[in-house]
A and B are shown apart, each in its own frame.
Chain A
């Protein structure tokens, strides 16, 4: 599965729920498909996607989604024990794992040599692993009444979709729109 195909499904599954999106090509590809006030793309904050999602889930009563990458998660791996400690059941973190820092010239990610899903399991987190859009969708839908935070690791193809333009949105506007959308 290509990342952009996974993003199409995630946009549909999360609907109008808050969705925090990791930076670089992931944010750009999502913006090329769909732009919503409930989307919070982090344009240049590697490693911060899941922490931001945790904060939102702690302050918001409904379901909150996070689209992270293996590279971004590894840059802030200390968030995993924090997720376990505070475990908001309304938070679903989807890690799109292509085994590389695709936005950094496709550099190798250490997810190739360590089992990051296994590490999350070892911390006692609820983890699912899959490599298809159908299974990813099914895992997300199965967690709507979960009793703990959910991490879904999805294997995707390497590389970025070609000819996606840079995403030049004003982060202040993205933040204001998102806040307004959450306030209803």
Chain B
């Protein structure tokens, strides 16, 4: 089981600071440390089979007033775009989405960059705000930005995506 490094732990801490009550996720090896740690902290979770399904469930929860976040990989945004635009965005459901990036340094998959590198532009084209957390950002920034973006999504009644750099094989010693 993958454990969260200090930055991924800070992301979980930021969600805790916000008061997260529930999260919806799509399985991901790179986001697994975040998912495992949230579950270990007792936050209720729902595992969805596809990203658009996750958007529907998370948006439904948000409409009930639950503080809900979504956790996924950026290569899944292709699946999620219509649901994000026609439901989450259009119905003013406010919830944060945290997606680990793929296709960067250390990537082992030959084609995943073909969707991952385009994801930020695709999201921006839909009018979805995109924030970034990188490995050069401090632990404190990861924590405070996570809390702030979660609050902002609820206040602005729209989904806001945070793309966070995960650690690829060979880079896992970065603290």
- Whether B53 and A58, one on each chain, are in contact in the complex, defined by CB atoms closer than 8 angstroms, is no
Complex CA–CA separation, A174 to B83 (angstroms):
16
8 Å CB contact of B46 from A43, A60, A86: A86
Question: Residue of A at shortest CB range from B46?
Answer: A86
Q: Which of A52, A85, A176 has the most CB of B within 10 A?
A: A52
Q: Mark contacts of B73-102 with chain A using CB atoms, 8 A cut-off: 1 yes-contact digit, 0 otherwise.
A: 000000000110011001111000000000
- Whether B57 and A55, one on each chain, are in contact in the complex, defined by CB atoms closer than 8 angstroms, is yes
Residues of B within 8 A of A78 (CB): 48-50, 53
Report, as a range, how many residues of chain A touch the other chain: 35 or more
- Whether B56 and A175, one on each chain, are in contact in the complex, defined by CB atoms closer than 8 angstroms, is no
A contacts with B: majority SS: helix
Are A59 and B91 also in contact (CB < 8 A) when A52-B56, A54-B57, A82-B48 are?
Answer: no
B88 to nearest A CB, angstroms? 9
State which residues 23-79 of A face B: CB under 8 Å: 40, 42-45, 47-60, 76, 78-79
- Whether A59 and B64, one on each chain, are in contact in the complex, defined by CB atoms closer than 8 angstroms, is yes
Q: Mark contacts of A110-144 with chain B using CB atoms, 8 A cut-off: 1 yes-contact digit, 0 otherwise.
A: 00000000000000000000000000000000000
Complex CA–CA separation, A47 to B80 (angstroms):
12
- Whether B61 and A55, one on each chain, are in contact in the complex, defined by CB atoms closer than 8 angstroms, is yes
Residues of B within 8 A of A168 (CB): none
8 Å CB contact of A60 from B49, B53, B64, B92: B64
- Whether B61 and A82, one on each chain, are in contact in the complex, defined by CB atoms closer than 8 angstroms, is no
- Whether A40 and B83, one on each chain, are in contact in the complex, defined by CB atoms closer than 8 angstroms, is no
Residues of B within 8 A of A54 (CB): 46, 56-57, 60
Residues of A within 8 A of B47 (CB): 82, 85
Q: Mark contacts of A79-113 with chain B using CB atoms, 8 A cut-off: 1 yes-contact digit, 0 otherwise.
A: 10110011000000000000000000000000000
- The answer to the question of B52 belonging to the interface, with a C-beta cut-off of 8 Å to chain A, is yes
Residues of B within 8 A of A183 (CB): 65
The 6 A-B residue pairs whose C-beta atoms are closest, nearest first, are A55-B60, A51-B56, A59-B64, A175-B91, A78-B49, A55-B57
Chain B interfacial positions (CB closer than 8 Å to A): 22, 24, 46-50, 52-66, 68, 82-83, 86-87, 90-93, 157
22 A-B residue pairs with Cβ-Cβ distance under 8 Å, sorted by A, are: A42-B86, A42-B87, A43-B90, A47-B52, A50-B56, A51-B48, A52-B87, A55-B24, A55-B46, A55-B56, A59-B61, A59-B64, A59-B68, A78-B48, A79-B49, A82-B49, A82-B57, A171-B91, A172-B157, A175-B91, A178-B63, A182-B65
